[in-house]
Homo-oligomer: A and B are copies of this chain.
């Protein structure tokens, strides 16, 4: 058999002695069909190995049939290594697959600001999910335009303040608050906080949670205890120097993600600090690495996988969670906030 043997609907129609329209009806299970005809057509189609062209179908329907997923550009590529992208993508992918939608992965180019609107006008996607968003003027404008045009899209794991985009996020204020409260319960009072850049709502929300926890415990906020990394292990490693310096004034470290937490641990270890002298540690994301760490790292679990499923379901035609029409009344009625959960391990247990 060669590529050239493309069986078309026409041949099926002829051999089955019906019109092409009927073949379509049978294969799409649309419209009333006499059972007899149905069987005959199906038989012939089967026998001829006929498979409808998705390309033609989509074209005729003016639907690409694709759910686009915009991946952020990350220098040094190796993008997916980030635990949460992997998880979210899995969630999205499984949901899309179950709905017969194809997933189109859109890799952002280095400098280029993506033209979301064109993506739709080119009919490359019917809807799309934006991963790794961050506060950026061009980005917000592009998304606003998209919304004005009434395109279905969903931002994941980021909140654009003042906008009313469809967003699927986790409650990082609360996640953070619980983490820090836990450290306080363990007797810690001088809690260093290694946060990420504030272009991510993730970071600003974690800071909020941190502050709330301190306030609840009547602990005074000391801005010297707040460090900024960039969510990489390396930045954690670098922060470890500062932390070691202030170690007699720090009894716990809360990091905005596991990679940084592990980087700090690694740094302390490399600088000769014994595990017994470690401050208490809590990370964030509850990635696989947290469990394997020494000591096992307490961490805030985020339901990335479920967030992916939810985001996808908002963009799937006929779905329950489908985003409502575009009359966005007031604030942000379509922002979804999933809960996090603190997983306590040895790293944060005192005495």
Contacts and interface: CB of A to CB of B under 8 A. Distances in A.
A266 B293 CA distance: 9
Interface in A97-133: 97, 102-107, 109, 118, 121-124
Nearest to A95: B107
A47 to B, nearest CB: 15
Given A55-B123, A104-B103, A262 B3 contact: no
A51 B94 contact: no
Interface string A146-185: 0011110000000000000000000000000000000000
Contact of A233 (B105, B288, B305): B288
A289 B83 CA distance: 12
A192 to B, nearest CB: 20
A18 interface: no
A93 B122 contact: no
Contacts of A46: none
Contacts of A104: 66, 102-105
A259 B53 CA distance: 42
A20 B327 CA distance: 37
Integer count of this chain's copies in the complex: 2
A59 B62 contact: no
Contacts of A118: 51
Contacts of A85: 80, 86
A271 interface: no
A90 interface: yes
A109 B97 contact: yes
Interface stretch (A33-41, A71-79, A223-231, A242-250): A71-79
A81 B77 contact: no
Given A2-B149, A80-B85, A89-B105, 9 more contacts: A51-B122, A59-B59, A81-B288, A102-B106, A263-B292, A266-B292, A269-B294, A292-B293, A293-B294
